Amino acid sequence: MNSRISRRRRIVGAALALLTLAPVLQPLPLQAAQNLVFVSGAFRRSIPVADLEYLAETGRARGLLADVLSLTKQDPATVAKLLKESISLPITLVSRLLNTRIGDALLQRVGAILSPLYAGNDSIPALRSAIILGMVQGKGSLSAISFFKAYPTAELEVSIPALLSLMQKASSISDLVRFFSESPLDGLKGNDRPAGGTGTAGS
Q: Per residue in 146-164, pLDDT tens? A: 999 999 989 999 888 887 7
Confidence of residue 179 (pLDDT cuts 50, 70, 90): low
Is residue 27 scored above 50 in pLDDT? no
Confidence of residue 48 (pLDDT cuts 50, 70, 90): very high
User: Contact 188/105 with Cβ under 8 angstroms?
Assistant: yes
Average of per-residue pLDDT across 193-199: 41
Q: What one-letter code names the amino acid at 13?
A: G
Looking at per-residue confidence, does 33 or 3 come out higher? 33
Share of the chain above pLDDT 90, in %: 24
Is residue 203 scored above 80 in pLDDT? no
User: Rounded to an integer, what distance in angstroms lies between the CA atom of residue 160 and that of residue 37?
Assistant: 10
Is residue 42 scored above 60 in pLDDT? yes
State residue 22's pLDDT score: 37
In what helix (H) or strand (E) does residue 176 lie, and over which residues does it extend? helix 173-188
Is residue 80 scored above 80 in pLDDT? yes
Q: Per residue in 96-147, pLDDT tens? A: 888 888 888 888 888 888 888 876 667 888 999 999 999 998 989 999 999 9
State residue 201's pLDDT score: 38
Q: What one-letter code names the amino acid at 63?
A: G
User: Rounded to an integer, what distance in angstroms lies between the CA atom of residue 138 and that of residue 129?
Assistant: 14
Distances (CA, A) of 98 to 15, 23, 139: 20, 12, 18
Is residue 21 scored above 60 in pLDDT? no
